[in-house]
């Protein structure tokens, strides 16, 4: 079963590299030592910027130039924002937004 051993090695390699990317900053800037002010500044502002990036990341596959022109995404995201500003209930915003989006892509804008 060399196929299985090869697959195991591939998975182990992926696990190692993934952990490396997560571990690196903690090795570079260990707890005992003073973290440079510039790095602390980045740590303060980056979470805001990265969450914005993750929103874009989730929507990256949306095509604005072909039908349905990103309308399901636009409507569902707008609904989540509006509902969340109004009710401030995380589960409600996510639940309603997701069901709305599913209805939109499965029925309303079905291709």
Partner 1 sequence: MQKETSAKAQKVKLALRAAFPMTIPVMVGYLFLGAAFGILLESKGYGFGWAALMSVIVYAGSMQFVAVDLLATGAGFLQVALMTLMVNIRHVFYGLSLLGKFQNFGAKKPYMIFSLSDETFSLLCSAEPPKNVDRSWFFFFIALLDQLYWIVGSVVGGLLGSSFSFNTQGIDFAMTALFVVIFVNQWRETKSHAPALAGLACSVVCLLLFGADNFILPALISMVVLLTVVRKRLDRPEEEATT
Instruction: Report the interface residues with partner 1, using CB under 8 A.
Output: 6-7, 9-15, 17-19, 21-26, 29, 31, 35, 37-61, 72-73, 76-77, 80-81, 84-85, 90-91, 93-95, 97-98, 101-102, 104-106
Q: Which of 74, 68, 65 is nearest to 111 (CA)?
A: 68
The span from the CA of 71 to the CA of 17, in Å, is 38
Q: Which is nearer to partner 1, 50 or 69 (CB)?
A: 50
> Which one, 26 or 67, has the nearer CB to partner 1?
26
Q: In angstroms, what is the minimal distance from the CB of 20 to partner 1?
A: 8
Smallest distance, Å, CB 4 to partner 1? 9
Q: How far is the CB of 42 from partner 1 (least distance, A)?
A: 6
72 dihedral zone (left: phi>0; alpha: psi -120 to 50; beta): alpha
Helix (H/G/I), strand (E/B), else coil: 64: coil
The alpha carbon of 72 is separated from its chain's Cα centroid by a whole number of angstroms, namely 18
């Amino acid at each position: 079963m060399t196929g299985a051993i090869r697959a195991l090695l591939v998975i182990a390699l992926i696990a190692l590299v993934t952990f490396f990317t997560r571990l690196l900053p903690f090795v570079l800037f260990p707890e005992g030592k003073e973290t440079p002010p510039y790095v602390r500044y980045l740590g303060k502002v980056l979470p805001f910027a990265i969450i914005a990036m993750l929103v874009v990341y989730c929507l990256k596959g949306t095509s604005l130039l072909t039908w349905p022109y990103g309308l399901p995404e636009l409507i569902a995201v707008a609904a989540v924002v509006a509902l969340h500003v109004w009710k401030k209930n995380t589960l409600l915003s996510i639940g309603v937004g997701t069901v709305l989006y599913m209805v939109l892509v499965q029925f309303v804008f079905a291709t």
